[in-house]
Amino acid sequence: MKKMETDHIKITPEWSQCKEEVWDHVFAKLEDDPRAINITPRKKTVWFYAVASIAAVALLIPFIAFFYTKSEVAERGSHLAVILPDRSKVNLNADSKISYKPLWWFVARDVKLTGEAYFEVEKGSTFNVRSGEYTVSVLGTSFNVFSRADKFNVTCLTGKVNVSDKSGGVILTPNMQALRSDGKLIADIIEDANESVNWKQGKFVFVSVPLQEVIQEIERQYDIEVIRNSTMDYSYSGNFTKTNDPNDVLKIVGSPFGIEFKIK
């Protein structure tokens, strides 16, 4: 059997240009074709940036309003009267401080207190005074809050006051006082709630108050430091006014116990 021979045909294109030149030639025609699609990026107008800026500011304003806080401080030896954004009034006793959010005020009327203050609250949404673990809530009333070290009490002069902490809460009406006893808040009836705010007129009345606390109040009111050279394990009943010389006040307070106080 005779083997068939197959002729292999080799076709060689007759190109006179290299591959790169052919490629450039083809795309040159595309660029010259008037039907070719010309895509031009759209420029952002001034209005676009203006709207974007307004949107950013609109989102930023609530953030600023919520976190912006204003503080008012009555230094030792002074009292301070404060008017809040809704015309509610606060009188700060010596060495006391309040903080609140003026730009957020009509969303939430919240005040943080350290020290002692008397509040006259305008009617409106709930008004909260927060001091440590305690919260005093009212709608429209007047009351005094004392919050120093481990001692806390709230005295209601007008209206109705709710005082609460993690252990529970009590409701106060005029001539009632809330204080902590045996680890919980209790409500007690007092003779005259106005005596709790005598300090506004520079008058200080003490009834069976630990002598140590009396001296601390004198130091706050006169911005002085009192040297104690004797035991302070006494209770004091008496009064003085801030117009008295502090040396005279210390003599009056110390004489019943035979104690001589000196100002540093």
Which pLDDT value is given to residue 104? 92
The Cβ of residue 8 has, within 10 Å, a number of other Cβ atoms equal to: 4
3-state secondary structure of 138: strand
Residue 85 structure tokens:
């954004």
* Helix, strand, coil % over all residues of the chain, rounded to 5: 25, 35, 35
Low-confidence ranges of the chain (pLDDT < 70): 1-53, 55-63, 65-66
Q: CA 71, CA 57: separation in Å to the nearest integer?
A: 25
Which pLDDT value is given to residue 49? 60
- Write out the DSSP string of 161-184: EEEEETTEEEEE-TTEEEEEETTE
Bridge partners of 169, per DSSP, are 164
Q: What burial class does residue 127 get, using C-beta atoms within 10 Å of its C-beta: 0-12 exposed, 13-18 middle, 19+ buried?
A: buried
Give the pairing of strands 96-100 and 89-92: unpaired
User: What pTM was computed for the model?
Assistant: 0.75
User: In degrees, to the nearest 5, what angle opens at C-alpha 241 toward C-alphas 231 and 136?
Assistant: 85
Which pLDDT value is given to residue 6? 47
Residue 204 structure tokens:
């200080």
Taking the CA atoms of 44, 50, 55 and 59 in sequence, report the sign of the dihedral they define.
Answer: positive
Rg (CA), the chain: 40
* First-to-last C-alpha distance (Å) of the chain: 136
Q: Cα-Cα-Cα-Cα dihedral of 210, 215, 221, 222, to 10°?
A: 170
Which pLDDT value is given to residue 125? 93
Residue 169 structure tokens:
């809460």
Which pLDDT value is given to residue 3? 46
Which pLDDT value is given to residue 31? 52
Which pLDDT value is given to residue 108? 93
Which pLDDT value is given to residue 229? 75
Which pLDDT value is given to residue 167? 84
